[in-house]
């Protein structure tokens, strides 16, 4: 659907969904951490939807931009991680798992929200393309980026959210051993992206979920 757009049009369509998907994901971590007793993110001014507080030059701008320009069809990124100090938690590993889960859950909720945006565009019909099409395109982009971030972050690769969730479920010794992989996490992810392992792992689940959300959007 996006192939019919020029590069500039694609950038305009994707920019808000990408920024909100990444920003809200991080804010969700900080908000839940605060509920569990950690005010670190709040004190540092990171519990805000102002994207300038969360932008990471590589993860928020350069990487998504390159993926969009090269037309890989697989766009993702990250923001500066919201600081979380598990020492404030009553059950550090278990509570950290809940804080980690908040990110993917926020992406799921945003995907629903963008599906409703697209649905509004569909209701305008063929007689109001100037209003309908921007809503539909943005909705499709919002569904796509949020599903990718949700699925990607559920992978059990440190420091992704899935690894925090798994760590909270493992016995202490094995969680400690598992968390040692975090120093290699970025390299592992980049290798998986380069060799299209991420595309293979996430492609089918993303396709199935997209069909459900597109149906919700009336597409």
Asked if 26 is an active-site residue, the reply is yes
Which position among 4, 26, 182, 210 bears the catalytic label?
26
User: Six-digit token pair at 205?
Assistant: 């689940």
The CA distance from 165 to 27, in Å, is 18
Cβ neighbors of 217 (< 8 A, separation 6 or more) are 115, 116, 118, 119, 122, 136, 139, 140, 143
**DSSP symbol at 160:** S
Length of the chain: 219
For residue 196, give the 3-state DSSP assignment: coil
Q: Which two tokens stand for residue 218?
A: 């009336």
Catalytic residues: 26
């Amino acid at each position: 659907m996006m192939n019919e757009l020029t590069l500039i049009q694609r950038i305009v369509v994707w920019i808000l969904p990408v920024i909100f998907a990444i920003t809200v994901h991080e804010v969700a971590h900080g908000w839940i951490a605060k509920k569990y007793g950690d005010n670190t993110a709040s004190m540092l001014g990171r519990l805000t939807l102002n994207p300038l507080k969360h932008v990471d030059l590589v993860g928020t701008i350069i990487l998504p931009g390159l993926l969009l320009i090269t037309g890989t069809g697989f766009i993702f990124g990250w923001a500066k991680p919201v600081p979380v100090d598990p020492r404030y938690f009553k059950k550090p590993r278990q509570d950290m798992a809940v804080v980690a889960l908040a990110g993917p859950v926020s992406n799921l909720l945003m995907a629903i929200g963008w599906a409703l945006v697209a649905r509004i565009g569909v209701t305008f019909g063929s007689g109001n393309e100037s209003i309908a099409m921007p809503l539909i395109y943005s909705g499709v982009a919002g569904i796509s980026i949020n599903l990718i971030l949700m699925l990607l972050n559920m992978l059990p690769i440190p420091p992704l959210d899935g690894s925090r969730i798994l760590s909270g479920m493992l016995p202490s010794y094995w969680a400690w051993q598992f968390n040692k992989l975090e120093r290699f996490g970025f390299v592992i992810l980049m290798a998986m992206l380069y060799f299209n392992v991420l595309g293979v792992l996430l492609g089918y689940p993303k396709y199935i979920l997209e069909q459900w959300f597109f149906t919700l959007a009336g597409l």
